[in-house]
Structure 1
């Protein structure tokens, strides 16, 4: 995918479709559809149904929490009617609120599944580290006025890399059956006043990244030693954990799939970090059994209840 190209407006797209979605999560109560509050899924399904002229049910690569943003949320659905690329994108976006937009659409194989087929998910947590409160960036960063030692935070974060029990970093109400997750990398870098936690793994627990960000901030402020993250990890207890960082600083920036699906590549978000120049899927995935097995997993296999 290049930054500029013309959407096709003549060829009807048939079969399963994947879409790249971007949203500011400030006013949404998370991605998942809710009856009592605005959700990203609800807004998308209603807009797509207007284009299709029939109900649409979609699936997403991950469910973000209330207030969390996304620059590359990948969804898929089986359209009830055929529409062109331009009709899906322009038609849906004209029916979506200004804080939510579809960036691209692509036909995919029937065994593509945005959640079950994801090989990795990547987030960036952004602290604005300055004395004065943010104005222009206030909805997209977490303000920290205490000086943060980014190199110390980075060194502490390396304890998270690999496969671990992340019980100390999961929310009390997390519904996941297992606290074990595999982190591919966790980097902390400073770009002027921005301190960015860049983390990628196979999947994440409820509030996991925000809890990691809260603990790393304690290390960065000097309130805790660099061994603090490893100590929390070993305790395997949320009661021993640190504060949960605010949702506004968290951005879902990439969801990675097998290359055979040929999903569009695009600059990693948010635009506050566009100067880093990195694109989606640019880093090689770890060579491990979990990813190898997921590459071979079909949609039917994933839904098969047999052991």
Structure 2
């Protein structure tokens, strides 16, 4: 049995998310159906995690177990032949049999895009949150530093999150403005459901003068009377990369 690792890029605008769902078309379903056409037999992908409806990915990781002896390039080019223009396998790699895309992941990098301008941009409409007024970047950077470290992010998850613990470690939150585009890069060991979007939404409120840095500290401490964290729109979020330990011997 071979274990094949896939790195998949997609525009999630037209999908219900990564995971198969009964209420619409998912990325997983489309890629698995392409694999079935290539391999001529059932195929199931195990991913590094989920992305919600409208969220994009530059580097979603998934793995497939198969007995097929196709060369690696055939898994990439063959699957891409059956995929729509919104999804593409960018890289394939053969892994040890014990590899698991989800359970072996050591960290993830998400990027959130914000477009600041008085007029909307059609070119950024599917990949950035449009805000008409400028944000206070210095205030947002100061607040972002509070997220770094190991904290209880229970206030930064939505209902339906099935995580057993709300303790997560955030390695870095970096904000960079370039002309009208603001990028927020969040790196961490793992994330709760909608955690990054709620972090971004709260930082935007700080940038708008609607919240203070102290309120973020209060949210992380679970103090009452702070209000809930605001959730940024899905379409500005992109999963950039998933990290793994190097296989033994490398």
TM-score (norm 1): 0.78
Residue matched to 1:194: 181
Q: Which residue of 2 aligns with 1:93?
A: 80
Aligned to 1:132: 119
User: Contact between 1:129 and 1:144, CA under 8 Å: does it hold in 2?
Assistant: yes
Secondary structure class of the residue paired with 1:259? coil
Higher RCO, Cα 8 Å, sep 6+:
2
For residue 144 of structure 1, the aligned residue among 118, 125, 131 is 131
Moved more, 233-242 or 249-258: 233-242
**RMSD (CA atoms):** 1.9
Q: Which runs of 5+ in 1 are unaligned?
A: 1-13, 264-307
**1:253 matched residue in structure 2:** 240
Separation in structure 1 between the aligned mates of residue 39 and residue 203 of structure 2, nearest angstrom:
46
Q: Structure 1 residue 187: deviation in Å?
A: 1.4
Q: Mean alpha-carbon deviation: is it higher for 205-214 or for 254-263?
A: 254-263
Aligned to 1:58: 45
Q: Check if 1:68 corresponds to 2:48.
A: no
CA contact (8 A) 1:168 1:238 kept: no
User: How big is each residue's C-alpha offset from its partner over 1:13-35, in whole Å with a ceiling of 9 and x where there is no partner?
Assistant: x7211011000000110101123
**CA distance in structure 2 between the aligned counterparts of 1:48 and 1:201, rounded to whole angstroms:** 31
Q: Per the alignment, in what secondary structure is the counterpart of residue 123 of structure 2?
A: coil
Name the structure where strand makes up a greater proportion of residues.
2
1:35 aligns with 2:17: no
Shift of 1:238: 11
- Separation of aligned partners in 2, 1:118 and 1:238: 36
Aligned to 1:158: 145
Count of residue correspondences: 250
1:236, distance to aligned residue in structure 2 (A): 6.0
Segments of 5+ residues of structure 2 without an aligned counterpart are: none
Please give the alpha-carbon distance, in whole angstroms, between the structure 2 residues aligned to 1:130 and 1:248: 17
